[in-house]
Chain A
């Protein structure tokens, strides 16, 4: 069971939630550190250097957003945010500041575990096989020939426009992380004006169609309604 020795820090003020998350993670062979308050969390983060942080945004002693900011100044360890359904703006803000993903409360343990695996696998600390690099690379069913700027799905080439190709490469480079509309638009077009989101959505619709993703059955591009997109190679639809 102990094949992975990833260290995970949980910062959550609800004791019951902390307990069950810890139980699940320990059962899956992770090393788990727990903090009830943001300040304790920060100290544990400094002293232990965890591989991943699970962070509740509503902490009693400090704003979770502030914690993300502080961590991002010195570390790239993935941060998984636990959020309530009503706080759409908080989610986007957390993601824009560098959080990798979010899980909405209440969540199932299978879902949480899948997100953790996905974030760890693509954590830059352990090499990022999907980042833009010369040669060829593959992510799940997708294969990218970076030199020739060509994309293949299950061995068959798909014809993407320049913009579509750029989006795919950018998202693949950030596999496992939710990229907000603003982040993608900034990267692809360099500026964010009225109608930008729609332009992105149209491009995404074309990409989905071309690589054969059907609504409800998308295994590769996960859309986070009102927030952004995430590329995943985990079988997250199968809890």
Chain B
């Protein structure tokens, strides 16, 4: 990555300098005047300092301008002459111009970086708060139900035993899914993206996703269509499984009235497109825009930071303090993972009802 940036900077510098020198030569020839030329060169040097990283390119181009000015555009023409004090003075001026611009640019960039860092930190804190809240509800169920079972075992009917135990199991399963999402986020959300991309056989990936999905939701059929031929995709298999699992699960938990759930995969222009569609009630239009932003769309709120906010499908007709089944984190995790793969996840409501989530990944050769 670094040499690429460096190459880019070198290219910018050369284009600007050649452009400036070319137009200077043209002006000198055409208008027979020199007084515009130092200004053009100064402008080029300032632009170079602004557009490149660090001091080096600015200094090199200002030295280059000074030499050119000396050589081509001051008397004696097309000969170096370092004895005229005026020329030395212009060199000093040019250099100081460069240094000031570069210093300002570097400072500005550093500030920008710091601001981004603060923003990231704030997002992380928000997520942490949201998650802690989300974790509390199922933990309450688990702690409470198991205490009840131990302390009042004899007073409860067998039916009640099973009911309490089912609550424990259900909430523990929810916690498992939540923790898997958090693991995915921490892997991506760190300082540098840690995707472990490998060539994955599409069919095997889909198989693993469906096997896992069936364990959680044995009664929900998924209509699957995928290419007949052998297709490999270049992805992080654990994370893409997480995305597909989250999307399927999101439909089951939140697409009310759903009778059909489908996973449609096809190839298009060297990419493999994944579509998860349901025929439930769809997503309210006002949520379509920020369904993936989940927790981070809420700024600086107090302890009730994400109450009633678009956290996924789930917020409608759920009482304010019953947030535990929220999928906001799940859908934001999907968006984050796909973004880390260089793609984008989109959602739309289908004309016949229901919602369709779509993303694409690279096919590998």
Asked whether B214 is an interface residue with its Cβ less than 8 Å from the other chain, the reply is yes
Asked whether A212 is an interface residue with its Cβ less than 8 Å from the other chain, the reply is no
* SS of A interface (majority): loop
With A215-B224, A237-B211: A205-B230 Cβ-Cβ less than 8 Å: yes
Within the complex, the shortest CB–CB distance from A207 to chain B, in Å, comes to 12
For A208, give its contact among B203, B208, B210, B222 (CB under 8 Å): B203
Write the chain B residue with the least CB distance to A84.
B183
For B241, give its contact among A106, A217, A223, A225 (CB under 8 Å): A225
Task: Give every chain B residue within 8 A of A208 (Cβ-Cβ).
Answer: 203
User: Within the assembled complex, what's the spacing in Å between the Cα atoms of A198 and B200?
Assistant: 9
A-B contact pairs, 24 of them (CB 8 A): A85-B238, A86-B183, A108-B215, A198-B232, A201-B230, A202-B230, A205-B201, A205-B203, A208-B203, A215-B203, A215-B206, A215-B224, A215-B226, A216-B209, A216-B213, A216-B224, A218-B207, A223-B207, A223-B208, A225-B208, A225-B241, A226-B200, A237-B214, A239-B218
Task: Give every chain A residue within 8 A of B232 (Cβ-Cβ).
Answer: 198, 201
Asked whether A90 is an interface residue with its Cβ less than 8 Å from the other chain, the reply is no
Asked whether A63 is an interface residue with its Cβ less than 8 Å from the other chain, the reply is no
User: Within the assembled complex, what's the spacing in Å between the Cα atoms of A225 and B82?
Assistant: 71
* Chain A 29-71 per-residue mask, 1 if CB under 8 angstroms from chain B, else 0: 0000000000000000000000000000000000000000000
Contact assessment for B199 and A198 in the assembled complex, using a CB-CB cutoff below 8 Å: yes
Q: How many residues of B contact A (CB 8 A)?
A: 29
Asked whether A15 is an interface residue with its Cβ less than 8 Å from the other chain, the reply is no
Task: Give every chain B residue within 8 A of A226 (Cβ-Cβ).
Answer: 198, 200, 237
Asked whether B180 is an interface residue with its Cβ less than 8 Å from the other chain, the reply is yes
Q: How many residues of A contact B (CB 8 A)?
A: 24
For B237, give its contact among A216, A218, A225 (CB under 8 Å): A225
Contact assessment for A223 and B204 in the assembled complex, using a CB-CB cutoff below 8 Å: yes
Using a CB–CB distance below 8 Å, which chain A residues touch chain B?
85-86, 88, 106, 108, 111, 198, 201-202, 204-205, 208, 214-218, 222-223, 225-226, 237-239
Contact assessment for A111 and B215 in the assembled complex, using a CB-CB cutoff below 8 Å: yes
Asked whether B288 is an interface residue with its Cβ less than 8 Å from the other chain, the reply is no
Seed contacts A215-B204, A223-B207, A237-B214; 9 additional CB < 8 Å A-B pairs: A198-B199, A201-B201, A215-B203, A216-B207, A217-B210, A222-B211, A225-B205, A226-B198, A237-B211
Asked whether B176 is an interface residue with its Cβ less than 8 Å from the other chain, the reply is yes
User: Within the assembled complex, what's the spacing in Å between the Cα atoms of A108 and B172?
Assistant: 11
User: Within the assembled complex, what's the spacing in Å between the Cα atoms of A225 and B205?
Assistant: 7
Write the chain A residue with the least CB distance to B241.
A225
